Amino acid sequence: MTRKSILSSLRSTLLGLAVPSASLLFLVNAHGQGCVIARGANFSMMTHDHDSFLQPGDWQASIAHRWFRSDRHFRGTHEEPHRKNEGTEVINDSHFLDLTGVYAFSRQFSLNLTIPFVVHDRSSLYEHKGNAAGERYHTQASGLADMRLGAAYWLVNPDRYHNGNIAFGAGVKAPTGDYEATDIFMRPTGPQERYVDTSIQPGDGGWGFFLETQGFHLIAGNLSTYFNASYTFNPREMVPSTRFSVPDSYLGRLGLAYAILPEHGVSLSLGGRIEGVPPSDAIGGSLGTRRPGYAIAIEPGISFHRGRLSVSVTAPVALERNRQRTFNAATTGDAAFADYSINSSISYRF
């Protein structure tokens, strides 16, 4: 099988997880991907065994971190290597930190609250004195991002069936992050305070809601399969002051996990991942400045689970990046993507 056919098959499977349809629910908080913005760092820690489910009255606290550096420009699926060769590329260096608390009302039903923070640094030429000037300057934005409150329900009682389960969830996203952040831009006429780029705004400026699902199943021995997917709906069209769009976003993951040291709670995983921003929103208008597109990645990972403690790290590596055309644009713009990202999460039950 050729690389092209593998990518085509993976794309079809993952798009089936990530795009909403009448026959399937999809889920929640996607992650940043350079100039193509899909906000958040909420790294979903999959449950792979019977003992991992929360007990009624349990609390779980989690810290999730995501980092990437985007600097490779794409227009459609075509890379524009001349940007890096000429030194005119845009570079986003972004950190996302999610603090999440979960309370279990039963083995199957729980509520969760996520308080996210971001730290962004963006450097470019064109936003300041122009590419021809050859002078690179930085803008920054950081602070509280958009908080999320959700509920999740496992369909199967884990006391009755131990080898797999599937959960569905829903929740709301509040515009608690600054969506009108400014910094100083070095313009030809002198320093000027302006709104920072939409990709590094801490918030998107709109109330939204999300749907989510995740699941796992034991295949044989120590081998299991997992999936999770999310879709965040943002009905607000755009922020009037900045003219930035308030876009939807999505995430889909599908893969295998193998317990290499089950007595020590250590597992390896390998899967496919897609995340991005659609050209138009499912609900509401789609005007305003947005950079739609998606990235498909192969995602290796390692996890550790012992008693009340769980730790996971994944490093999705991009296989395909596609800067899609905005729904009302005559041509396809460009956007910077990352080669890979580092996602880590640690949680503890109380």
Q: What's the pLDDT tens digit per position in 199-255? A: 999 999 999 999 999 999 999 999 999 999 999 999 999 999 999 999 999 999 999
- CA gap 246, 21 in Å, rounded: 21
**pLDDT (mean) for 7-21:** 48
Q: Is residue 26 scored above 50 in pLDDT?
A: no
- CA gap 14, 230 in Å, rounded: 12
**pLDDT (mean) for 18-46:** 45
- Phi first, then psi, for residue 7 (nearest 5°) are -65, -40
3-349 CATH:
2.40.128.130
**pLDDT (mean) for 4-16:** 53
- Chain-centroid distance of CA 317 in Å reads 14
Q: Is residue 51 scored above 60 in pLDDT?
A: no
What is the bridge-based pairing of β-strands 208-220 and 223-233? Answer: antiparallel
Q: Predicted confidence band at 53 (pLDDT cuts at 50, 70, 90)?
A: confident
Positive or negative, the CA dihedral 325, 328, 330, 334 is negative
Contact 41, 63 (CB under 8 A): no
What lies within 8 Å, CB to CB, of 152 at 6+ separation is 109, 110, 112, 167, 168, 169, 212
Q: Is residue 42 scored above 50 in pLDDT?
A: no
Q: Is residue 24 scored above 90 in pLDDT?
A: no
Token pair belonging to 155: 């369909």
pLDDT of residue 162: 86
Q: Predicted confidence band at 11 (pLDDT cuts at 50, 70, 90)?
A: low
What is the bridge-based pairing of β-strands 208-220 and 148-154? Answer: unpaired
- Give the residue, 257 or 327, on which the prediction is more confident: 257
Q: Is residue 47 scored above 80 in pLDDT?
A: no
Q: Is residue 44 scored above 70 in pLDDT?
A: no
pLDDT of residue 8: 59
pLDDT of residue 221: 93
Q: Virtual CA dihedral for 252, 278, 97, 241, nearest 10 degrees?
A: -170
- CA gap 224, 257 in Å, rounded: 5
pLDDT of residue 208: 97
Please give the model's pTM, rounded to 2 decimal places.
0.88
pLDDT of residue 43: 47
Report the DSSP beta bridge partners of residue 93. Answer: 69, 121
Average pLDDT of the residues of the chain: 88
Residues 277-303 have pLDDT tens digits of 999 999 999 999 999 999 999 999 999
Q: Is residue 28 scored above 70 in pLDDT?
A: no
- Give the residue, 35 or 59, on which the prediction is more confident: 59
What lies within 8 Å, CB to CB, of 136 at 6+ separation is 87, 123, 124, 125, 128
The single-letter code of the amino acid at 342 is: I
Residues 149-168 have pLDDT tens digits of 999 999 999 989 989 999 99
pLDDT of residue 205: 97
Residues 59-78 have pLDDT tens digits of 999 999 999 999 999 999 99
What is the SS3 assignment for the chain?
CCHHHHHHHHHHHHHHHHCCECCECCCCCCCCECCECCCCCCCCCCCCCHHHCCCCCCEEEEEEEEEEEEEEEEEECEECCHHHHHCCCCEEEEEEEEEEEEEECCCCEEEEEEEEEEEEEEEECCCCCCHHHCCCEEEEEEEECCCEEEEEEECCCCCCCCCEEEEEEEEEECCCCCCCCEEEEEECCEEEEEECCHHHCCCCCCCEEEEEEEEEEEEECCEEEEEEEEEEECCCCEECCCCEECCCEEEEEEEEEEEEEHHHCEEEEEEEEEEEECCCCCCCCCCCECCCEEEEEEEEEEEEEECCEEEEEECCEEEEEEECCCCCCCCCCCEEEEEEEEEEEEEEEC
